[in-house]
């Protein structure tokens, strides 16, 4: 039996936010946009390749969401990613450290919470 793995993650974005979506996920984060299947193009979705998985951004009227739900994106250079976000006007938020996984959170233009990390060591080595 094969191990389960994430195929895609879906996040909401406001209707009509195509330009802001592409500016943040494509231009700022450097994700590769991929075409959605033609059978669902009418659903107003924008898809990106995210490593071996995909990120799907679907149009939905905004609503308040104070939960801790988030997606985590592993990057090669965490500090360069932080610097790009700050330069673009975003506010990274530091959080509780995980040994071997430096990380921070940031909100996308639509309020979705995103964690950014770099895996530098096995956190299990640091378990009590």
100 is a domain residue:
yes
Burial label for 22, CB within 10 Å (0-12, 13-18, 19+), is: middle
* Bridge partner residues of 12 (DSSP): 58
2 is a domain residue:
no
Residues contacting residue 84 through CB under 8 Å, at least 6 positions apart: 28
49 is a domain residue:
yes
Residue with tokens 């988030």: 70
* 37-72: pLDDT as tens digits: 999 989 999 999 999 999 999 999 988 877 888 999
As a whole number of angstroms, the distance between CA 119 and CA 1 comes to: 27
Q: What percent of the chain has pLDDT over 70?
A: 100
Range of the domain at 111: 8-62+69-126
116 is a domain residue:
yes
* Domain total in the chain: 1
1 is a domain residue:
no
pTM of the model: 0.89
120 is a domain residue:
yes
CATH code of the domain covering residue 30: 3.10.180.10
26 is a domain residue:
yes
DSSP codes of every residue in 27-93 = IIT-PEEEPPPGGGGGG-EEEEEETTEEEEEEE-------S---EEEE-S-HHHHHHHHHHTT---B
Residues contacting residue 38 through CB under 8 Å, at least 6 positions apart: none
Q: What's the mean pLDDT when you consider all of the chain?
A: 93
User: Is the model more confident about 36 or about 4?
Assistant: 36
112 is a domain residue:
yes
């Amino acid at each position: 039996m094969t191990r389960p793995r994430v195929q895609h993650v879906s996040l909401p974005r406001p209707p009509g936010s195509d330009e802001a979506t592409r500016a943040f996920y494509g231009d700022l984060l450097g994700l590769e946009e991929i075409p959605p299947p033609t059978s669902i193009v009418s659903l107003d979705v924008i898809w990106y390749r995210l490593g071996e998985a995909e990120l799907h951004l679907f149009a939905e009227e905004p609503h308040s969401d104070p939960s801790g739900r988030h997606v985590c994106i592993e990057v090669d250079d965490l500090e360069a990613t932080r610097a790009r976000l700050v330069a673009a006007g975003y506010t990274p938020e530091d959080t509780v450290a995980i040994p071997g996984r430096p990380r921070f959170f940031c909100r996308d233009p639509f309020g979705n919470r995103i964690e950014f990390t770099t895996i530098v060591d096995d956190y299990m080595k640091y378990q009590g």
